[in-house]
Chains A and B, each alone.
Chain A
Amino acid sequence: MKLNTRTIKIISQVLFFILFAIIISLSYKQSPPDWYKNLPQALSPLSLIITLIADKTIHPIMLSSIVVIVSTIITGRVFCGYVCPLGAIIDTADYIFGRIRGRVGAKLPAFLYNIKYSLLIVAITLAIIGSTILLILDPLSLTSQLFTVILFPFFNTIGMWLVKLLLFLGVSPFSDTVVFIEKELLFELSPVYRFTPFILIICFILLLSIITRRGWCRYICPLGALLSLIGTRAPFARQLTDDCIGRGACERLCRMGILAESGMQTRKSECILCGECAFICAKEAVLYTARGKHKTDSTNRSKFLLTRRTLFTGLGIGFLSIIPIKLIKKKDTVIRPPGTDRERLEKLCLRCGLCIRVCPTNALQHDILHTSLSALFTPQLVARVGPCSFNCNLCGRVCPSGAIPKLTLKIKQKTRMGQAEIVRATCLSWLGETCMLCQEVCPTPTKAIITRHRRNHPEFKGIPAPEVDKDLCIGCGYCENICPVEPPAIKVHPLEFQ
């Protein structure tokens, strides 16, 4: 097989996708090093720019996206074609839905290309008022969420069924196979995420393949828009040799739909260098080289770039969307991961869901309109699902943008997330039935739950009852998690600013 550009692209996509999957699979490991765990999520220049505008800070790992910026300056949107894991998924979906769609797909009006630029402007406008909500459309965050919320739980369920099947077939639950599967491949607790919104977004992206190829990348992806802008003047691009006869086969088959005049004209800023046109060309007239050697390609640079109209549409929508962002706010507060609060998350969270992925107790869940629209998909701590593990600071260690600060274990163990409070009306111990589970599990070095006795009460004399020491409680939620009463008789209340 000849190694043409198209083959190289497919190999690169597969390799990068596997790399992404391996890194996100291993990210839950408690042991250092940490530098690789959030690398895929930190690669997006969009996240870098948006968080920089919103919070005026840069987290060191985010600088790795400079690699992407430099490669884009030289070669255009090569990231979209060769690296982006969501691009790989979309290409696969394109292939699967090819029968329904037909090879070429529907011809959509050209102004749709401008949507992504408008979205980019909206994202920047919202970032100026301190909300990074549009990062939910960042393809790296989306892929990360896809793994966290849909793929890993899915594989976990399959693994559980596999174990059930093995047990049904008479394999001992203590045999090496079952122990290995349960300990190394499965989650300790089956993940319980509210995945509906993510399913909807992912389905929308995949179903776009029925209409057109790479529909998401063409029309919507704000990262694609940013890379298009950066890579407008890329010297390394699609070129034509003199052999081109203008047959136009490439124009119809272009993945991004950016060829014109029978393939003689390329909108280079949108080109992802996928090599489809070079593959289809009978004359082998398409080359990917540095500019200046071949002059037959009359490039049209300006047509689908940021026009004045796009800019103002974006600004208009951006300013209009400030209203719902500012208005849709509840008075509720929720417990946040250690060391962070709602405002910080609104400004810095990439919505990649990596903290939710790595949380060993499943305590971190998505905040889906619990507090405000701006904090959509940011992490919250649900103590009833799981406590904040005392000897774990992984969420802070993996957070690519520093939305959850990187706390050392010693500091994290003293960081307050909330405040536990006992509901004496339902607490078993206060009702005279010794329980004290909350005190048993309380992980602070000096127990934050102290024993009280109802000395004066004749019935309950000598029966210990729990009470929270407010100075020692860090709100980790162990007590609420283990409380046998439903609803829990000890509840962790969030601190006011969260």
Chain B
Amino acid sequence: MIWNIKEYYQLTRREFINSSIKAITSLSLAGLLASSVMGQSKGVFWSDLASPDTNTKLYIVKGYDIYGATRKAIELAGGLAGVVKKGDRILVKPNMSFNRAPEYGANTHPDVVTAVVDMVYKAGAKQVYIVDNTVEQARGSYDISGIENAGKSAGAKVILFNQRDTREIKIPSAQKLKSTTIHRLCLECDAIINVPVAKNHNLTKLSLSIKNLMGLAGEGRWRWHKNISKCLADFYSYVKPPVTIMDASRILLRNGPSGGNLNDVKWTNMIIVSKDGVACDAYATTLFGMAPSDIGYIKECANRGLGITDPEQVKFIKETI
């Protein structure tokens, strides 16, 4: 497996026709097989999220339609049925830290959030919450990022982060972050779905799925900056969301995390889904032309065995819509 995404996606017309014919034939054959073998059973073939398959898989869907791509990626992974049970309360954690419009790449795209909330409800959740501890003014960021509207119209409850609602937690296995505050919805909800955006960051070089989780911590999180890699790894070991849906539809290359210059934004039109956030991050580093070992917290997480960074051990399922 090569980490180079360009080679994968730069197809000639012939290759494209060939591969699509192959794909259609194999898919229809597979469908026939599935219907004949499985009959009425609900399971999907490669249901990674639903099955206790130990093999780490990365579902990458490329497409201009962000909503469709997100749905497709989740559907490829077998839906959210393995994460969301009927009647669950689910916390969706997008990145909406900054008072920036979606095209600047500083926040998760609202279409991704809509698709995720839709899929969570489709999987039978009772209530979806969206919360983020923003860096800038919460209301402006919630509003201008477009996520408040997107979440609301999809039926989720968009909650302002209030220090009152944070709870103190202890992380016994931690190296640096022995205790911290965390939003109580993390503790009360049945699952957290991480919906980060891939972007540049001034301190950690890249802000990906693990860094996005910092938005669940409350007051005093700036102290993490002293040992950011270790603290993030400690926090990730505690929170560890069962599924990460990364918005790499456009990536912010410079001047992160707030961005603000459209020249710094590169459209990659990609949605990455995995149950391993570290593998997700490791793959996303290659979009920026880096290696997973360049980023402190990914290295730290890999060293502690919180996830896989080696592309050889990851199974890639890619699709273009």
Q: Are B157 and A445 in contact (CB under 8 A)?
A: no
Given contact pairs A391-B144, A434-B228, A435-B222, A440 touches B164 in the complex (Cβ within 8 A): no
Residues of A within 8 Å of B138, CB to CB, are 188
Would you call B222 and A437 a contact (CB within 8 A)?
yes
* Residue contact A360 to B140, C-beta cutoff 8 Å: yes
For B202, give its contact among A30, A183, A433, A447 (CB under 8 Å).
A447
| Complex: A478 Cα to B97 Cα, angstroms | 14
Query: Is B79 positioned at the interface, with any CB of A under 8 Å from its CB?
Result: no
User: Given A183-B160, A443-B260, A445-B260, is A464 in contact with B203 using a C-beta cutoff of 8 Å?
Assistant: yes
User: B139 near A441 (CB under 8 angstroms)?
Assistant: no
Cα separation A442 to B136 with both chains bound (whole Å): 10
Could you say which residues of chain B place their CB within 8 Å of the CB of A434? 203, 225-228
Instruction: Indicate if B180 sits at the interface (CB-CB under 8 A).
Output: no
User: Of B144, B162, B203, which contacts A440 at CB under 8 A?
Assistant: B203
Q: Report how far A435 CA is from B202 CA in the complex, Å.
A: 11
Chain B residues within an 8 Å CB radius of A361:
137
Compute how far the CA of A440 lies from the CA of B199 in the bound complex, rounded to whole angstroms.
13
Residue B129 interfacial (CB < 8 Å): yes
Q: Is the CB of A451 within 8 A of B202?
A: yes
Verify B203–A389 contact, CB threshold 8 A: no
Q: Which residue of A lies closest to B164 (CB)?
A: A173
B30 interface hit (Cβ, 8 Å): no
- Number of B residues whose C-beta is below 8 Å from A? 34
Contacts of B226 in A (CB 8 A): 433-435
Q: Hey, what's the 0/1 contact readout for B125-153 against A, CB within 8 Å counting as 1? A: 00001000001111110011000000000
Question: Does B139 contact A360, Cβ atoms closer than 8 Å?
Answer: yes
A225-243 contacts to B (CB < 8 Å): none
Shortest beta-carbon distance, B162 to chain A, in Å? Answer: 7
Q: Which residues of B contact A162 (CB under 8 A)?
A: none
Q: How far is the CA of A440 from the CA of B225 in the complex (A)?
A: 11
Enumerate chain B residues within 8 angstroms of A333, measured Cβ to Cβ.
none
Nearest chain B CB to A452's CB is how many angstroms away?
Answer: 13
Give the complex CA separation of A436 and B164 in angstroms: 26
B159: CB under 8 A from chain A? yes
Interface string of A460-488 (1 = CB under 8 A from B): 00001000000000000010001010000
Cα–Cα distance between A201 and B37 once the two chains are bound (Å): 85
Q: Min CB distance, A388 to chain B, in Å? A: 11
What distance in Å separates the Cβ of A329 from its nearest Cβ neighbour in chain B? 34
Within 8 A of B (CB), among A350-377: 360-361
Q: How far is the CB of B184 from chain A (nearest CB, A)?
A: 8
Which residues of A (283-336) have their CB < 8 Å from a CB of B? none
Q: Judging by beta carbons under 8 Å apart, are A389 and B99 in contact?
A: yes
Q: Assess whether B258 is interfacial by the CB under 8 Å rule.
A: yes
A439 at the interface (CB under 8 A from B): yes
17 contacts between A and B (CB under 8 A): A173-B164, A173-B165, A174-B185, A389-B99, A389-B137, A390-B136, A391-B144, A392-B140, A435-B226, A436-B203, A440-B258, A441-B136, A445-B260, A446-B255, A447-B255, A478-B136, A482-B222
**CB-based closest 3 A-B pairs:** A445-B261, A445-B260, A439-B202
